[in-house]
Chain A
Amino acid sequence: MIQIEGVSHTYRTTDGRDIPALEGVSLEVREREFIALLGPSGCGKSTLLYLIGGFLPIASGSVRVHGTPVTGPGPDRGVVFQHFALFPWKTVLGNVLYGLEKLGVPRDVREKRAREFIDMVGLTGFEESYPSHLSGGMKQRAALARTLAIDPKVLLMDEPFGALDAQTRSLMQAELLAIWHRSPKTVIFVTHDVQEAVYLAQRVFVMSARPGKIKAVVETSFERSDPHIFKSKAFVDKVDEIWGLVRDEAMKAQKGRPF
């Protein structure tokens, strides 16, 4: 369970300006729940994820994961970054092995486990490839395997499919859901794609334009095994409803820009 209470975050730029990124964010995520954080670009979604991950200092408010206040990064919270963040000097296998090695998994076990997860994300045959030789979709699969292999209780995903083409993206979405059904974890999935949020999450948290706040929480539980879910009325209505909430914020975010 994740409890976030009154969290604010302000960035200080190098020329000394303060940029409020988050303001008084409170939310609760239940055990093994899949939630989406939805909001326009620049509203502080990544910032919130980094705070939960323990990568940024929590200056005001509190973040608790399973009752323990977050004070730094830890393997209980696995992160999939927007730009993969694979170690480019390590092969796919080397990338997946690294975390296991750091966590002290015995040598023979970690090799087997790494190959299992590489297989799970469909990268069998690419164990010895370097990330620079992989397509965007394959990089994201490798990053997912690396994070899943350390078996985190909480999965933090920052627009993981944002850089992928439409086909690869819908494939990865379906696979992610399949993986989640097989081994349910608490997932916080950041996206600015309404359809993606509605398809994946049980609840969608809509954020306001910068400084980010939680503007609305929408339940989005569907029978996802239906292959025509995207065309079903319930799904389309839900997308419309949430799109309405997001549009105002997207326009506000646009206005704040120079052009």
Chain B
Amino acid sequence: MARLIWRVAPWAVVLALAAAWEIFAASGAVTPFMLPRLSVVLERIRADGASGELWQNLAYTLYRSFAGFFIAGALGIPLGILIGRNRAVRWLFDPLISVGFPMPKIAFLPIVTLWLGFHDVSKITMVVLDASFPVVTAAIAGTMSVERELLWSARNCGARGAALLREVVLPAALPQIFTGLQVALPIALIVAIVAEMKMGGVGLGGAMITATRFADSPGVFAGIVEIAVAGYVLVKLMAVLRRRLLLWHPEALAPATV
């Protein structure tokens, strides 16, 4: 019984918020232009879904997010492991990371636009720029905290070089690396949407800007709800994937980043 309550409690909060939105918007305290009723927004999402527009926008935004996310992972994990294992590489990259991480990468948007134009390449580049940092830093931390006895056990049987990295360092650091990926994925989504808003074109962010331009208030709020749902689903999927991938880990449940 108590367990059931804990399971439904988060949904109850969401429902209460939805109800509050509906009631407040219908009360007349604000104009429908400033805050359309939730039912109107949901109806709009349904209509966009029926016409296919929603799926097209979603597909573009997810494509850019995932493309950037995967590139960030493919570059960030090996780079982080290398930095964590090799002092010379660490000296080389440490200042870059220290300066680059706290920097708002959106500041590079004008340059990226100048170099790469308005299309997918520059949007994905922006995603990569932002999403790599949590992956790299997590991979460094994970690599540096691998117990030396684990490495020694493997070296004792003749594991060396790349095999040692692949067979011992990577799996040992995986819990931390995955935490970095769990941080990076929502960032990828956020940056993809911001880039779309700035650069225009098809996509959830682009559609919101277009709706604003046409003073289409339900369209703007529909975008907000769609992004919230998309983000929620992505975060949950990552948590499920983590549990499956790290079955061996004593804390296979944490951190879910909800």
Which 4 A-B pairs give the minimum distances between C-beta atoms? A85-B149, A102-B157, A99-B157, A130-B248
Docked-complex contact B247 and A74, CB < 8 angstroms? no
Contact of A78 among B156, B168, B172 (CB under 8 A): B156
Q: Does A32 contact B (CB under 8 A)?
A: no
Indicate whether A73 sits within 8 Å of B156 (C-beta atoms), given known contacts A85-B150, A89-B171, A89-B174: yes
Shortest distance between the CB of A36 and any CB in chain B (Å): 21
Extra inter-chain contacts (18) besides given A79-B152, A87-B150, CB under 8 Å = A53-B152, A55-B155, A79-B153, A83-B147, A83-B149, A85-B147, A85-B152, A87-B154, A87-B168, A88-B172, A88-B248, A88-B249, A89-B171, A89-B174, A89-B249, A102-B158, A146-B153, A150-B156
Docked-complex contact B247 and A130, CB < 8 angstroms? yes
Q: How large is the interface on B (under 10, 10 to 19, 20 to 34, 35 or more residues)?
A: 20 to 34
Q: Does B250 contact A (CB under 8 A)?
A: yes
Query: In the bound complex, what is the Cα–Cα distance between A34 and B102 (angstroms)?
Result: 57
What is the interface of chain B mostly: helix, strand, loop, or mixed? Answer: helix
Q: Does A235 contact B (CB under 8 A)?
A: no
Shortest distance between the CB of B80 and any CB in chain A (Å): 18
7 A/B residue pairs, CB under 8 Å, sorted by A: A55-B148, A77-B156, A85-B149, A88-B248, A88-B249, A89-B174, A102-B154
**For window 54-113 of chain A, which residues contact chain B by CB distance below 8 Å?**
55, 72-75, 77-79, 81, 83, 85, 87-90, 98-99, 102-103
* Residues in chain B within 8 A of chain A (CB atoms): 147-150, 152-159, 167-168, 171-172, 174, 247-250
A132 proximity list for chain B (CB < 8 A): 248-250
B174 proximity list for chain A (CB < 8 A): 89
What is the interface of chain A mostly: helix, strand, loop, or mixed? Answer: loop
Shortest distance between the CB of A126 and any CB in chain B (Å): 14
B150 proximity list for chain A (CB < 8 A): 85, 87
Docked-complex contact B149 and A81, CB < 8 angstroms? yes
Docked-complex contact B248 and A89, CB < 8 angstroms? yes
**For window 38-61 of chain A, which residues contact chain B by CB distance below 8 Å?**
50, 53, 55
Contact of B153 among A74, A81, A131 (CB under 8 A): A81
A75 proximity list for chain B (CB < 8 A): 156-158
Query: In the bound complex, what is the Cα–Cα distance between A74 and B172 (angstroms)?
Result: 22
Query: In the bound complex, what is the Cα–Cα distance between A85 and B168 (angstroms)?
Result: 12
Shortest distance between the CB of A47 and any CB in chain B (Å): 13
Residue ID in chain A nearest B245 by CB atoms: A89
Indicate whether A98 sits within 8 Å of B154 (C-beta atoms), given known contacts A83-B149, A89-B248, A130-B248: yes
Query: In the bound complex, what is the Cα–Cα distance between A188 and B82 (angstroms)?
Result: 35
Query: In the bound complex, what is the Cα–Cα distance between A213 and B156 (angstroms)?
Result: 26
